[in-house]
Amino acid sequence: MKTLRARDLEPTANPRDRRPTADHDADSSNPIAVIMFSVIGLLIAVNLILRVPEVALTVEQFNTFAGP
């Protein structure tokens, strides 16, 4: 097993002193992906709201046939 010094991974006292790694950009979230998922979620919610009938109206129609 290699030591930390052999891998150039010495611990630092201050996190700001660390060198950025090559995959540092991959750790940041992509704002376009967040916006797209939000838009898709909103479209699904609007679709469900417009397609599913209101519960009170359904119960009222059922009570018309079933009686009091």
pTM of the model: 0.44
Q: How far apart are CA 35 and CA 60, in angstroms?
A: 40
Q: Is the pLDDT of residue 23 over 60?
A: no
For residue 38, tell me if it sits in a domain: yes
Residue ranges making up the domain that contains 41: 31-63
For residue 11, tell me if it sits in a domain: no
The number of distinct structural domains making up the chain is 1
Q: Is the pLDDT of residue 62 over 90?
A: no
For residue 36, tell me if it sits in a domain: yes
